[in-house]
Amino acid sequence: MEQALVVYASETGFTQRFALGIAQALHCELIDVQFVTTADLQKRKIIIYGGHLVGEKVLGLKAFYREFHQSLPDQLIVFGSGISPTGTSGN
């Protein structure tokens, strides 16, 4: 699925592994957020962004959006890896 791109921010490698699994399942490119350029985002219909959960926020998402918001397609999917705070798991 060349119309999609998986972008991730990972400090320990866990998010990278999740992102790799998503990219493999979708048959699309995978890029570390440190190396993303505007050209990487052009002509994509879907960007999937993953980062470590810090509280209820996804690491690096705000900075990524701030830098590339004009180049992002309408569909931005976000996932977080890690442990969610107590009481937010939906149980």
Residue 11: pLDDT above 80? yes
Top-confidence residue, 26 or 90: 26
Give the 3-state secondary structure of 2-64. Answer: CCEEEEECCCCCHHHHHHHHHHHHHCCEEEEHHHCCHHHHCCCCEEEEEEEEECCEECCHHHH
The maximal CA–CA distance of the chain, rounded, in angstroms, is 42
Contacts of 57 (CB under 8 A, 6+ apart): none
Residue 6: pLDDT above 80? yes
Q: What is the mean pLDDT of the chain?
A: 91
Domain contains 58: yes
Q: What is the mean pLDDT of residues 56-79?
A: 95
Quickly state the pLDDT bin for 91 (edges 50, 70, 90): very low
Q: What is the mean pLDDT of residues 61-71?
A: 97
Domain contains 86: no
CATH of the domain at 45: 3.40.50.360
Residues comprising the chain, all counted: 91
Domain contains 31: yes
